Amino acid sequence: MGMIRIIPLSCALILLSASAQAEWTLNLTPGVTEVSRSVYDLHMTIFWICVAIGCVVFGVMFWSIFHHRKSRGAKAHHFHEHTAVEVMWTLIPLGILVAMAVPATATLVDMYDPRDAKLDVQVTGYQWKWRYQYLDQELDFFSNLTTPREQISNTENKGEHYLLEVDRHLVLPTDTKIRFLLTANDVIHSWWVPALAVKKDAIPGFINEAWTQIDEPGLYRGQCAELCGKDHGFMPIVVEAVPPDQFEQWVAGMKAEKQAQQQASERTWTLDELMAQGEQVYLSSCAACHQANGAGLPPAFPALKGSAIAVGDVQAHIDIVLHGKPGTAMQAFAEQLSPAELAAVITYERNAWGNSTGEAVSPAQVSRVLAGEGAAEEGM
């Protein structure tokens, strides 16, 4: 029953594996920022202090178990009080705690100092995805899980980054102080990237902040840490840290892409193109609730297959996808997807799984609704 002997043993394993394997780990990551390293050091210091105390306490205990057993003829002594000893083992732990509190306070003070951040990124939690807005670069995108449904339901082999892969990375420059402003759209989420030692709750109606400064380029993966409903386990975070000049290029690239999207929504799309694009969008943005086969998970998430919306009035369909349905889990997708993507996914919903309206919704049609023209007068 020597749990205590397992601890140093597992520690040795931890140290070994940290160098041997990058992915499969037993211990906290030291991370890639100054703060994360000091957190790691603090963690290890306190761990070893606990191990030492454990050795002493359990040592005495097991010594008694072996030497003071009745079967060995031990006779019970009669002491049951000793003020000096009791005072001592109150004061010594107190001293140890003070010794722990000093470095802990220093690290905490450091974490609360977001001075001179060069880049502000707003992070918004949604059920169940993250939205990143680069406030001065005017970039704004959602980051969705890309692990195929087939891998989750075990019909396909799982990829290396199963459940930790997204369509758009949060690209950040290295060696730059970055401030995150966190909030949420619906329920409380928590944005956590272990390698940065940043975990902060994203609370609807409130703004929180955290900061980081990444030393090494690389991909750092994290997950939502606060239970936020059905797909809490399916909203990962991927941070891609790149050198500052590459970051500038990426920003320029994103801006160009935004323009291309605008052009895409202006050109004419065929029904097949819309269906192909629509299926992709559907699987990443809609299938979590309405399911890949359109059957939904009633009553919270209604079926689209044969539904009154998906085969009924097209304006009402566009309206609900763009603006959501208040009081239900149906979100507004107007900000999340481009007009072309919206048109494609609506077209897909109207023509998949035996919904055969044959109608193609054009990006232009969606853009008109987005611009406020042709808003359905009758409302919802």
Partner 1 sequence: MDTARANRRLVIRLLGGSVLMFGFGFALVPLYDVFCEVTGLNGKITRTGAIETVEADTSRQVRVRLIGINNEGMPWEFSPQQSLLTVNPGEMKQTAFQAYNPTGRSMVAQAIPSVSPGVAAQYLHKVNCFCFNAQPLQAGARADMPLLFVIDKELPPEIHSITLSYTLFDITEAQAADNGSAEPDGGSPI
Partner 2 sequence: MSTLDTATDDIGHDHHGPASGIGRWLFTTNHKDIGSLYLWFSLLMFLTGGVMALMIRAELFQPGLQLVEPGFFNQMTTMHGLIMVFGAVMPAFVGLANWMIPMMIGAPDMALPRMNNWSFWILPFAFAILISTLLMEGGAPNFGWTFYAPLSTTYAPPSVTYFIFAIHIMGMSSIMGAINIIATILNMRAPGMTMMKLPMFVWSWLITAFLLIAVMPVLAGVVTMMLMDIHFGTSFFNAAGGGDPVLFQHVFWFFGHPEVYIMILPAFGIISHIIPTFSRKRLFGYASMVYAMASIAILSFLVWAHHMFTVGLPLVGELFFMFATMLIAVPTGVKVFNWVTTMFRGSLTFETPMLFAIAFVVLFTIGGFSGLMLAIAPVDFQYHDTYFVVAHFHYVLVPGAIFAIMAGVYYWLPKWTGHQLNERMGRLHFWLSFIGVNITFFPMHFIGLAGMPRRIPDYALQFADFNMVASIGAFIFGFSQLLFVWNVIQTVRHGEKAQARAWEGAEGLEWEVASPAPYHTFATPPRVD
- The interface with partner 1 within residues 94-123 (CB under 8 A) comprises 112-117, 120, 122
C-alpha distances in angstroms, 270 versus 85, 343, 356, 360? 86, 11, 16, 8
Closest by alpha carbon to 356, among 309, 302, 306?
306
Taking the least distance from each CB to partner 2, the nearer of 109 and 380 is: 109
Minimum distance, C-beta of residue 178 to partner 1, in the bound complex (Å) = 13
* 3 vs 380 by CB, closer to partner 1: 380
Interaxial angle between packed helices 363-370 and 339-351, expressed in degrees from 0 to 180 and rounded to the nearest 10: 120
Lookup result for tokens 């902040």: 209
- HSE (CB half, 13 Å, CA atoms) of 150? 4
Nearer CB in complex with partner 2: 11/139: 11
Binding partner selected for residue 122 from partner 2, partner 1, none, CB under the kind-specific 5 to 8 Å limit: partner 1
Closest separation in Å from C-beta 139 to partner 1:
13
Q: Which stretch binds partner 1 (CB under 8 A): 35-43, 153-161, 166-174, 329-337?
A: 329-337
Residue selected from 171, 172, 345, 369 as contacting partner 1 according to rule CB under 8 A = 369
Q: Which is nearer to partner 1, 130 or 220 (CB)?
A: 130
Among 2, 298, 358, 372, binds partner 1 (CB under 8 A): 372
The rounded distance, in Å, linking the Cα atoms of 339 and 187 is: 27
Task: Report how far apart the first and last C-alpha atoms of the chain are (Å, whole number).
Answer: 66
**Residue 322 found at the interface with partner 1 (CB under 8 A):** yes
For residue 253, give both structure tokens.
């690239």
CB of 165 to partner 2, least distance (A): 10
Could you say whether residue 81 binds partner 1 (CB under 8 A)?
no
Note the maximum CA span of the chain.
95
Region from 66-74, 143-151, 263-271, 364-372 binding partner 1, contact rule CB under 8 A: 364-372
**Binder of residue 378, out of partner 1, partner 2, none (CB less than 5 to 8 A by kind):** partner 1
DSSP 330-348: PPP-TTTS-HHHHHHHHHH
- DSSP assignment of 122-150 equals EEEEETTEEEEEETTTTEEEEE-B-S-HH
Tokens of 80: 């049951």
According to DSSP, residue 312 is labeled S
Residue 164 binds which of partner 2, partner 1, none (CB < 5-8 A, kind-dependent)? partner 2
Is residue 367 close enough to count as binding partner 1 by CB under 8 A? Answer: no
Give the span between the Cα atoms of 161 and 154, in whole angstroms.
15
Q: Which residues bind partner 1 (CB under 8 A)?
A: 112-117, 120, 122, 124, 126-127, 135-136, 179, 181, 183, 185-186, 204-209, 319, 322-327, 331-332, 334-335, 369-372, 375-380
